[in-house]
A and B are shown apart, each in its own frame.
Chain A
Amino acid sequence: MPAESHAAAAIHAHQFEDAEQQRDAVTLGMWAFLLTEVLFFGGLFTAYTIYRWSFPAAFALSSHHLDVLLGGVNTVILIGSSLTMALAVHAAQVGGRGVVGYLLLTMLLGSAFLGIKAVEYDHKFAERLIPGASFLMRDERRPAHLDPAGDAVVAAGMASADPGVEADLQHHAQIFFSLYFAMTGMHALHMVVGLGLLAWLVLAARRGRFSPAYSTPVEIVGLYWHFVDIVWIFLFPLLYLIDRHA
Chain B
Amino acid sequence: MSTGVVDEAITYLNDPLSWTGPGGILELGREHLALTAAAVLVAAFVALPVGAWLGHGRRGGGVAVWLTNASRAVPTLGIILLLATAGLFGDGATVVAAALFAVPVLLVNTYEGVRGADASARDAAVGLGMPGRQVLTRVELPLATGLVAAGVRTAVVQVSATVPLAALAGGGGLGQIIALGMGTQRYGQVLAGGLLVALLALVLDGVFAVVQRLVTPAPLRAAARR
The yes or no verdict on A and B being binding partners is no
